[in-house]
């Protein structure tokens, strides 16, 4: 809104003062348009390989250790059925994670196959 008010005031003054303000108005508007037309470029890509390696090296072992402690604790209490159920759920979850990782690495070639 303030750019509009500045432009309107410069337009009114340029008609009153003559050509000098018109030249200044042209330079100001060129500067404003150049600033609006060329925003600062942001990061071009996300480092997905770094993120994936971080999760694989830091987060996954911690989660597996926590699951192991839970399973050992339940097994020592005699809750074998709960341990088997939790183990089956964990194995299915790992299969989904492995499938997602496979699609992550093979996805580009699959997309090229389907769309070309």
Same domain, 68 and 31: no
> Residues 13, 21: contact at Cβ < 8 Å?
yes
> Residues 67, 90: contact at Cβ < 8 Å?
yes
Q: How many other CB atoms are found less than 10 A from the CB of residue 59?
A: 10
Same domain, 104 and 56: yes
| pLDDT in single tens digits along all 116 residues of the chain | 565 666 666 555 555 555 544 544 555 556 555 555 555 666 677 777 888 888 888 888 898 888 888 888 888 888 888 888 888 888 898 889 888 888 877 888 888 888 87
**Is residue 42 situated within a structural domain?**
no
Same domain, 77 and 107: yes
**Is residue 63 situated within a structural domain?**
yes
Task: Find the domain containing 97 and state its range.
Answer: 48-115
What's the CA gap between 108 and 82, in Å, rounded? 40
Same domain, 111 and 61: yes
Same domain, 76 and 21: no
> What's this model's pTM, rounded to 2 decimal places?
0.42
**Number of domains comprising the chain:** 2
């Amino acid at each position: 809104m303030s750019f509009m008010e500045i432009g309107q005031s410069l337009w009114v003054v340029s008609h009153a003062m003559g050509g000098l303000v018109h030249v200044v108005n042209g330079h100001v508007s060129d500067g404003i348009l150049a600033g609006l037309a060329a925003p600062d470029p942001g990061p071009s890509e996300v480092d997905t390989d770094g993120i994936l390696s971080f999760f694989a090296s830091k987060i996954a072992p911690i989660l597996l250790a926590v699951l192991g402690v839970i399973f050992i604790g339940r097994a020592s209490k005699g809750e074998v059925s709960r341990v088997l159920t939790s183990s089956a759920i964990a194995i299915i979850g790992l299969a989904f994670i492995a499938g997602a990782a496979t699609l992550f690495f093979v996805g580009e070639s699959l997309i090229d196959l389907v769309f070309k």
